[in-house]
Structure 1
Amino acid sequence: MTDIQHVRTQTLDIACENHGPDSGEPVILLHGFPYSPRAYDEIAPTLAAKGYRVIVPYLRGYGPTRFNSPDTLRSGQQAALAQDLLDLMDALGIEQATLCGYDWGGRAACIVAALFPERVRGLVTGDGYNLQNIPHSTQPLAPETEHRLWYQYYFHTPRGIEGLRQNRREFCELLWRLWSPTWTQNAERYPLSAPAFDNPDFVDVVIHSYRHRFMYAPGDPALEWMEQLLTRQPAISVPTISLCGADDGVGPAPAEDEDIDHFTGPYERRVLADVGHNIPEEAPQQTLTALLDLLQR
């Protein structure tokens, strides 16, 4: 059975779904926006059955996870997500773990792997190198790419903030359909994750995330040191497998030659046919295989 544990860090009370023995080798599975731990429903139990200690946290702004103080900035910046992961590992006494994440969760995992490689045994990342290059965020992209980012530009406006606040479930369901256009289980699976978006901090964290990455909102001063390191776009040296959905509605998979320079350790890129943005939920077997390939090396 899944065990729900609340882990208190300096900033958050993080709700985690735990599987497997506490003595097992740790694996941390991280969801993205707008998703939830349900993305790993077909992965976590199998890993646990093999003896691994599997931890699937709700990110800040999702599900039962809560901020400790009403005065804390409801930041969604990339450094906040990475710091949450580090704080979680520290609170659980985990020196090193294998990480798997996509979208926001993939960004947190990639940052920790890049800046703290000694904490990461292996990395499964959705869509390769996920670190944001914020100083270059104002440079326009090709029109075909720009139009896919409409939701981000919408969130830059008061209308977009209120739109998400009033219609969060309908809005996120639309993103599921657009981002996983060939997946036949959207309607069946979405209701399982939607309750996680009822978190009282969900809107504030999401809006801050999409405004900060374009330099339209200040970040948390306590995390500025990490953001400065990330402007250098540090390489990832840990063993990595990148999973890319061939039908990802957010955008096509990055070309391998665009990504490879960011990885200095063992690296493999796998493009998954008929898979969109919600990689572990759409392709649980391929995701599990990637994790086991790293864990059993």
Structure 2
Amino acid sequence: MTDTSPPRTLRIELPELTITALTWGPDDGPLAIALHGYPDSAWSWRHLGPALAERGYRVVAPFTRGYAPTDIPADGDFHIGALMHDAIGVHHALGGGRDAVLIGHDWGALTANAIGAHRKSPFRAVVSMSVPPVPAMTRSDLDPRTRFGLLRRQARMSWYIFFNQIPVVSERSLDRLIPKLWRDWSPGHDATEDVAHVFDALPTLENRRAALQYYRSVAGPGRPAARYRELHDSWRRAPRVPTLYLHGADDGCMRVELVSSVREILPEGSRVAIIDGAGHFLQVEQPEAVNAAILDFLGG
């Protein structure tokens, strides 16, 4: 059975904002930072956190910028470089060493992939779920005709990205949209508990706008603030750090066929695994299989 020991709550003061995180394990253990995605919260690590803690890790799962009870940043920056800056800031604030590991799902995966590609990454290993590194999505072993068909079907599945660009309307539609995305992306999973945690993290219109700004920052013309730009430049590059990439076989957000080239762009010491019986939110759908893959990859 998966241990579901309750986490403690930790507040981390960074120059740009105060981050609230869930934490498991000893304060003197090697640091494992776990980043959630959209529409999700730090509670999606409630199965992995205790499993890593049993191995001696200090697991810290932040509510990422804009998700309560973490602050909405005063600078209003939600570019990937800003998300990277926060994760590295947590590592520094908690005294993380070279034995630290970074785990990310969805937007957390985009962030973790980018940090794994950065030449000054402070993490020894990265675990990335449900969104592969960008270079893996721009190449494929499939023939052009098959790839075109997959991309056309993927475009239909990605309608929500365009919907999230619409100001006010998309913020006010999340009460219906978020449960729908969980149903569509993780078919058959009872997401009652997960969705409740998401809405707890998005209690106000300002929080909801912040969550959608992740998408608008990628699509918009603006550049990240100067202090985030060097980090931001890494997000389209291939990882340098050994990476475990996990994807649900039944993912309704990103078709599993589109990640066929992940192995080719990962560095030595990396692994790829497809998790059977899991959709997009694989860490809560198949926690034992996901935990086992991560623990085996991290070793020790």
Using the size of structure 2 for normalisation, the TM-score is 0.85
Residue aligned with 1:223, SS = helix
Mapped to 2, the partners of 1:180 and 1:110 lie a distance apart of 22
Alpha-carbon deviation of 1:128? Answer: 5.6
Tell me the residue number matched to 1:169: 175
User: Which residue of 139, 152, 161 maps to 1:152?
Assistant: 161
Deviation per residue, 1:180-224 (Å, 9 max, x gap) = 1232x1234322332112256433323322123224444334323
Deviation per residue, 1:242-283 (Å, 9 max, x gap) = 111111111212555522232122121111112111121112
Aligned residues of 1:100 and 1:291 also touching (Cα < 8 A): no
In the TM superposition, 1:54-93 aligns within 5 A as 54-67=59-72, 69=74, 72-73=75-76, 75-93=77-95
Tell me the residue number matched to 1:27: 32
1:53 matched to 2:58: yes
1:106 matched to 2:109: yes
Residue aligned with 2:96, SS = coil
Aligned residues of 2:82 and 2:228 also touching (Cα < 8 A): yes
Mapped to 2, the partners of 1:215 and 1:254 lie a distance apart of 28
Tell me the residue number matched to 2:151: 142
**Partner AA of 2:176 in structure 1:** E
User: Which residue of 211, 216, 222 maps to 1:206?
Assistant: 211
Mapped to 2, the partners of 1:117 and 1:240 lie a distance apart of 16
Q: Which moved more, 1:255-264 or 1:102-111?
A: 255-264
Q: Which moved more, 1:24-33 or 1:256-265?
A: 256-265
1:265 matched to 2:268: yes
User: Which residue of 37, 44, 62 maps to 2:42?
Assistant: 37
Given the superposition, is the C-alpha separation of residues 229 and 44 from structure 1 closer, same or farther in structure 2, using an over 3 Å criterion? closer
1:240 matched to 2:243: yes
Aligned residues: 284
Residue aligned with 1:28, SS = strand
Q: Which moved more, 1:247-256 or 1:33-42?
A: 247-256
Tell me the residue number matched to 2:141: none
Residue aligned with 2:255, SS = coil
Alpha-carbon deviation of 1:25? Answer: 1.6
Aligned residues of 1:26 and 1:55 also touching (Cα < 8 A): yes
Gaps of 5+ in 2: 1-5, 139-147
Tell me the residue number matched to 1:14: 19
Alpha-carbon deviation of 1:62? Answer: 0.8
Deviation per residue, 1:72-123 (Å, 9 max, x gap) = 12x3221111111011111111133112111011111111111046511222
Mapped to 2, the partners of 1:17 and 1:122 lie a distance apart of 21
Tell me the residue number matched to 1:253: 256
Gaps of 5+ in 1: none
Aligned residues of 2:279 and 2:285 also touching (Cα < 8 A): yes
Aligned residues of 1:125 and 1:240 also touching (Cα < 8 A): yes
Given the superposition, is the C-alpha separation of residues 118 and 26 from structure 1 closer, same or farther in structure 2, using an over 3 Å criterion? same
Given the superposition, is the C-alpha separation of residues 216 and 279 from structure 1 closer, same or farther in structure 2, using an over 3 Å criterion? farther
Aligned residues of 1:14 and 1:57 also touching (Cα < 8 A): yes
**Partner AA of 2:89 in structure 1:** D
Tell me the residue number matched to 1:278: 281
Aligned residues of 1:62 and 1:197 also touching (Cα < 8 A): yes
Residue aligned with 1:125, SS = strand
Q: What RMSD in Å do the two structures reach over aligned CA positions?
A: 2.6
Aligned residues of 1:245 and 1:277 also touching (Cα < 8 A): yes
Mapped to 2, the partners of 1:127 and 1:192 lie a distance apart of 20
Residue aligned with 2:268, SS = coil
